[in-house]
């Protein structure tokens, strides 16, 4: 005797479809947020490196502290960007001003490093050239359930590259030079990784060569060597940060990438100058801690920046505002604006304006150009052909 078919619950099916449609974008959003947080934390660590490395101090040992009062930075005050905003740019213990330079670096790390990683990983490698990438289904669910080790390591390699470019740009903006020891170490680590796993380099030399260059460590070595030579050549007239960055790009991505980024960098600089024309002029250099890019943060400090700000009183009245008023109903004629709030917002905007208004900033332009190149790498490679 034939059995009657099971009843179909259309409401349950519809609920499952709706849940499925919501779970996928929600998972993508969570993974993207996680990658942005990782990028922000890398930016926070980079702040420590920028402060300690040129001074020959250890970047591993010693906790973060305020150089004005010596108090250790609490973990909840050390949260990238958010900690500075909640503290309103001041040390919790002594009230020394913390300039916006460091949360700015943390935000750049989150957007550039975390954003590029999210684009590469969640797209399944569709931003990268080569037959090994872009073959799987995109999305965070596929990344978590069927992870591609090659794609993950490529994203880590590119994050390492962007971290070093941001480090060079930040040190350059402070008027310092990245120690040669760090640059040689970064080049050596990158070279060892790409030679040991040459599949991380999706683009070859571009010409027919000996058999030893076709695969294995020989392929990685030849690509990295050509990239290193090209980076040194196109960066010969640049600043140390620009030259070292182009050499590192050549080792990590190949000579084609070093040449393309060298061409793209002046375009980024022109766009930055165009954007700078829309930003109001920055205040004089002696005005508070926003006068220089190398100022204090919740991670580390620059004593030279705190020298003019550590003794500033914790008062709701801006010290630059005169307390002498004319006769008459002066209070009614004053704008209803909190001077401390105005100072806080101005200190948040000044580092951005200062960097945009620089005529020459090769390190920053190089970082943005490299991130743009990575996001458009597959399209550029298909456009010019192999």
Q: Tokens 């070859």 belong to which residue?
A: 204
Q: Quick one: 382 exposed, middle or buried, by C-beta within 10 A (0-12, 13-18, 19+)? A: exposed
The confidence score (pLDDT) of residue 260 equals: 94
Question: Which tokens in the block code for residue 20?
Answer: 């499925």
From CA 83, how far away is CA 343, in angstroms rounded? 18
From CA 294, how far away is CA 50, in angstroms rounded? 9
The confidence score (pLDDT) of residue 349 equals: 72
Name which residue leads in pLDDT, 286 or 363: 363
Q: Which of 374, 371, 382 is nearest to 169 (CA)?
A: 371
Question: Which tokens in the block code for residue 360?
Answer: 């020459």
**Confidence class for position 250, pLDDT limits 50, 70, 90:** very high
Identify the helix (H) or strand (E) that includes residue 368: helix 362-375
Question: Which tokens in the block code for residue 236?
Answer: 């010969």
The confidence score (pLDDT) of residue 374 equals: 95
What 3-state DSSP class applies to 90?
strand
Q: Quick one: 339 exposed, middle or buried, by C-beta within 10 A (0-12, 13-18, 19+)? A: middle
Name which residue leads in pLDDT, 347 or 109: 109
pLDDT of 214 above 80:
no
The DSSP letter of residue 199 is G
From CA 64, how far away is CA 105, in angstroms rounded? 16
Q: Which of 182, 166, 170 is nearest to 51 (CA)?
A: 170
**Confidence class for position 261, pLDDT limits 50, 70, 90:** very high
Question: Which tokens in the block code for residue 128?
Answer: 């990268």
Tell me the mean pLDDT in the region 320-349.
49
Within 10 angstroms of residue 202's Cβ, the number of other Cβ atoms is 20
For the ranges 150-154, 214-218, 307-311, the maximum mean pLDDT occurs at 150-154
Question: Which tokens in the block code for residue 89?
Answer: 């740019």
pLDDT of 137 above 50:
yes
pLDDT of 52 above 60:
yes
Enumerate the β-bridge partners of residue 72: 65
Instruction: State pTM to two decimals.
Output: 0.76
From CA 46, how far away is CA 133, in angstroms rounded? 30
Please report, for residues 31, 152, 153, 238, the alpha-carbon distance to residue 144 in angstroms, rounded to integers and kept in the order given.
Answer: 9, 11, 15, 42
The confidence score (pLDDT) of residue 5 equals: 55
Q: Which of 99, 94, 87 is nearest to 311 (CA)?
A: 94
pLDDT of 298 above 60:
no
- Encode pLDDT of 31-49 as tens digits: 999 999 999 999 888 888 8
The confidence score (pLDDT) of residue 113 equals: 95
Tell me the mean pLDDT in the region 76-84.
77
**Which residues are CB-neighbours of 28 under 8 A, at least 6 positions away?**
122, 139, 140
Tell me the mean pLDDT in the region 295-322.
34
pLDDT of 230 above 90:
yes
**Which residues are CB-neighbours of 2 under 8 A, at least 6 positions away?**
none
Rounded to a whole number, what is the largest CA-CA distance in the chain?
104
For the ranges 127-141, 184-198, 321-335, 372-386, the maximum mean pLDDT occurs at 184-198
What 3-state DSSP class applies to 72?
strand
pLDDT of 380 above 60:
yes
Tell me the mean pLDDT in the region 223-240.
91
pLDDT of 7 above 80:
no
Q: CB–CB of 260/373 below 8 Å?
A: yes
The confidence score (pLDDT) of residue 281 equals: 60
Boundaries of every domain in the chain? 27-280+359-384
For the ranges 53-67, 171-185, 274-288, the maximum mean pLDDT occurs at 171-185
CA-angle at 84, arms to 80 and 90, nearest 5°: 150
pLDDT of 19 above 50:
yes
Average pLDDT score over the chain: 75
């Amino acid at each position: 005797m034939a059995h009657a078919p099971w009843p179909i619950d259309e409401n349950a099916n519809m609920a499952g479809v709706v849940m499925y449609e919501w779970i996928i974008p929600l998972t993508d959003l969570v993974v993207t947020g996680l990658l942005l947080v990782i990028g922000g934390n890398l930016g926070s660590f980079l702040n420590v490196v920028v402060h300690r490395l040129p001074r020959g101090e250890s970047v591993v040992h010693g906790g973060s502290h305020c150089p004005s009062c010596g108090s250790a930075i609490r973990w909840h005050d050390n949260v990238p960007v958010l900690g500075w905003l909640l503290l309103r740019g001041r040390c919790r213990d002594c009230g020394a001003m913390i300039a916006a330079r460091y949360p700015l670096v943390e935000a750049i790390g989150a957007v550039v490093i975390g954003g590029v990683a999210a684009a590469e990983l969640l797209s399944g490698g569709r931003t990268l050239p080569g037959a090994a990438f872009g073959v799987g289904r995109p999305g965070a669910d596929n990344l978590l359930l069927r992870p591609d080790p090659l794609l993950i390591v490529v994203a880590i390699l590119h994050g390492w590259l962007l971290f070093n470019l941001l480090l060079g740009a930040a040190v350059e903006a402070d008027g310092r030079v990245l120690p040669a020891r760090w640059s040689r170490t970064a080049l050596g680590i990158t070279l060892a990784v790409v030679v040991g796993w040459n599949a991380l380099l999706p683009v070859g030399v571009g010409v027919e060569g000996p058999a030893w260059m076709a695969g294995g460590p020989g392929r990685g070595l030849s690509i990295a060597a050509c990239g290193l030579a090209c980076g040194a050549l196109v960066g010969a007239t640049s600043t140390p940060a620009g030259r070292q960055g182009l050499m590192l790009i050549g080792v990590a991505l190949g000579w084609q990438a070093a040449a393309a980024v060298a061409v793209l960098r002046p375009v980024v600089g022109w766009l930055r100058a165009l954007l700078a024309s829309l930003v109001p002029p920055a205040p004089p250099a002696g005005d508070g801690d926003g006068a220089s890019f190398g100022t204090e943060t919740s991670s580390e400090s620059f004593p030279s920046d705190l020298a003019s700000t550590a003794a500033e009183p914790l008062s709701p009245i801006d010290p630059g505002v005169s307390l002498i008023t004319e006769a008459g109903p002066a209070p009614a004629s004053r704008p209803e604006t909190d001077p401390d709030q105005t100072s806080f917002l101005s200190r948040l905007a000044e580092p951005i304006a200062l960097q945009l208004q620089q005529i020459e900033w090769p390190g920053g332009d190089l970082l943005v150009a490299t991130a743009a190149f990575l996001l458009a790498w597959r399209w550029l490679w298909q456009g010019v052909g192999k």
